[in-house]
């Protein structure tokens, strides 16, 4: 994976290349970025740049044998560590046992989160962990001589899943063999072992800018400009969310929203209950998509209310947002956005969908109680 293939993050890319070229790269890095920021892809691109045999224009060449192997996640000097599960009683899982699934996951779900990964390996209700056996395997691998490049790189994705056994790695992190680089890729700094955290150089990966995400969708995913223009603002800098929206682009969220608002403002409890039951049947990702769509329209309505236009929305969305400006004041819109965001948080934590959407329906009804224009046209 080359830096040029990644969306945005130009400042971070330039910084990483500069550190490598000036021989100032720390032997232990922590890439800290929220879900969908592309932190794992940056780590993979950096590892490819490190082992590349003929770097060009501040990037790996992408064509040498080392780059080809790195791109396929099969370079013998680039090692991966990630949460695993115990498949059978008595197993002592290490990441090498899951490497085929890992390569497939990164290729097919490049911006997936820990939940996506654990479901991909059939975890169901099992908890993922980076085990003591995995830590011992890491120590063994990194104490060997490099096979090809001269460098050895370990990319550990989600070090939040390291228990106290992670302390086994401390001596290796403090005194690594020559030309050994640790790259930890995390989302939540508070869940990382303090002993690991204190031994790394922090590199913060910010959410992608909307313009960068839109351009990347057009250039690298062949998404039509109008659709990319609609998707990028709703994703809020989260590449995983953008892919989810793209995957469900044919869903008629606008009609579903009309039904909900009419049930709240016109049709009464029976219609609300029917809508909630239908909504509960949708998967967790679709429920989040719908709520994010509503947040996007509410944000557009606020911009229309204050500036008269919103450049990131389609004509249909602008029309609907115009109707929303008649339905609610800025204060009411802000209150709805807060409730929708809170609901997304609870969906991610497996809240009961019927209870959640009924409670949300009641809250939205109370927020809109004083201004009840009905969106039936």
Could you state, in order of their start, the residue ranges of all structural domains in the chain?
3-206, 212-245, 251-368
Confidence class of residue 224 from pLDDT cuts 50, 70 and 90? confident
The reported pLDDT for the residue numbered 249 is: 58
In 3D space, the residue among 227, 266, 258, 261 whose CA is nearest the CA of residue 245 turns out to be 227
Say whether pLDDT at 163 is over 70.
Answer: yes
- Residue count of the chain, please give it: 377
> Rounded distance, CA 35 to CA 168, Å?
27
Cα dihedral across residues 261, 262, 265, 269: positive or negative: negative
> Rounded distance, CA 135 to CA 115, Å?
22
Query: What average pLDDT does range 32-46 have in this prediction?
Result: 92
Say whether pLDDT at 59 is over 60.
Answer: yes
Cα dihedral across residues 139, 144, 148, 151: positive or negative: positive
93 contact partners, CB below 8 Å, separation of at least 6: 84, 85, 86, 87, 131, 133, 134
The class level of CATH for 3-206 reads alpha beta
Say whether pLDDT at 310 is over 60.
Answer: no
161 contact partners, CB below 8 Å, separation of at least 6: 82, 83, 114, 128, 129, 130
63 contact partners, CB below 8 Å, separation of at least 6: none
Backbone angles phi, psi at 99, to 5 degrees: -65, -35
Highest mean pLDDT among 156-165, 246-255, 312-321: 156-165
Say whether pLDDT at 306 is over 70.
Answer: no
What pTM was computed for the model? 0.73
> Rounded distance, CA 125 to CA 118, Å?
9
Confidence class of residue 153 from pLDDT cuts 50, 70 and 90? very high
The more confidently predicted of residues 303 and 64 is: 64
In 3D space, the residue among 191, 129, 137, 127 whose CA is nearest the CA of residue 169 turns out to be 137
Report residue 2 as tokens.
């080359």
> Rounded distance, CA 180 to CA 173, Å?
9
What strands, in cross-sheet order, belong to the sheet with 78-81?
78-81, 152-157, 180-186, 28-33, 201-205
In 3D space, the residue among 250, 223, 258 whose CA is nearest the CA of residue 239 turns out to be 223
Say whether pLDDT at 377 is over 60.
Answer: no
Report residue 263 as tokens.
């049930």
Q: Is 41 in contact with 71 (CB distance < 8 Å)?
A: no
User: Looking at the domain that runs over 251-368, which CATH code has it been given?
Assistant: 1.20.272
- DSSP class of residue 221 equals S
Q: How distant, in Å, are the alpha carbons of 39, 261, 328, 373 from that of 325?
A: 38, 14, 6, 10
The reported pLDDT for the residue numbered 376 is: 39
Confidence class of residue 246 from pLDDT cuts 50, 70 and 90? confident
What are the strands, taking DSSP E only, across the chain? 28-33, 78-81, 152-157, 180-186, 201-205
Angle (CA) 157-136-171 rounded to 5° is 85
Report residue 194 as tokens.
């303090």
Long-range residue pairs from 321-327, CB within 8 A, at least 24 positions apart, any chain: 321/297, 323/375, 323/377, 324/297, 324/298, 324/375, 325/301, 326/373, 327/261, 327/368, 327/371, 327/373, 327/375
**Percent of the residues in the chain that have a pLDDT greater than 90, as a whole number:** 41
Element (H, E) at 108: helix 99-108
Confidence class of residue 314 from pLDDT cuts 50, 70 and 90? low
């Amino acid at each position: 994976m080359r830096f040029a293939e990644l969306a945005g993050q130009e400042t971070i890319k330039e910084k990483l290349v500069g550190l490598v070229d000036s021989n100032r790269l720390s032997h232990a890095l922590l890439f800290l970025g929220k879900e969908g920021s592309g932190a794992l892809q940056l780590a993979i691109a950096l590892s490819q740049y490190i082992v590349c045999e003929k770097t060009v224009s501040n990037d790996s060449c992408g064509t040498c044998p080392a780059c080809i192997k790195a791109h396929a996640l099969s370079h013998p000097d680039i090692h991966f560590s990630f949460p695993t599960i115990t498949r059978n009683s008595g197993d002592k899982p290490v990441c090498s046992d899951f490497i085929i699934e890992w390569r497939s996951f990164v290729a097919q779900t490049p911006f997936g989160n820990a939940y996506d990964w654990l479901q991909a390996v059939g975890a169901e209700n099992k908890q993922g962990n980076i085990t003591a056996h995995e830590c011992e395997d890491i120590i063994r691998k990194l104490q060997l001589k490099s096979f090809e490049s001269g460098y050895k790189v370990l990319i550990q994705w989600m070090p939040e899943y390291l228990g106290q056994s992670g302390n086994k790695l401390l001596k290796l992190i403090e005194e690594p063999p020559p030309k050994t680089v640790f790259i930890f890729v995390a989302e939540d700094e508070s869940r990382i072992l303090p002993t690991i955290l204190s031994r790394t150089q922090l590199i913060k990966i910010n959410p992608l800018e909307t313009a960068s995400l839109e351009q990347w969708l057009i250039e690298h995913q062949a998404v039509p400009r109008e659709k990319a223009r609609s998707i990028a603002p709703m994703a809020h800098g989260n590449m995983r969310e953008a892919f989810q929206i793209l995957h469900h682009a044919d869903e008629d969220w606008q009609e579903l929203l009309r039904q909900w608002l009419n049930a709240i403002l016109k049709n009464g409890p029976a219609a609300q209950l029917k809508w909630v039951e239908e909504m509960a049947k949708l998967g967790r990702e679709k429920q989040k998509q719908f709520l994010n769509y509503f947040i996007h329209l509410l944000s557009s309505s606020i911009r229309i209310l204050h500036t008269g236009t919103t450049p990131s929305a389609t004509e249909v969305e602008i029309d609907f947002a115009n109707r929303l400006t008649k339905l609610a004041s800025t204060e009411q819109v802000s209150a709805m956005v807060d409730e929708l965001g809170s609901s997304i948080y609870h969906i991610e934590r497996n809240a009961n969908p019927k209870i959640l959407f009924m409670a949300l329906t009641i809250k939205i009804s109370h927020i809109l109680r004083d201004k009840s224009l009905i969106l039936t046209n």
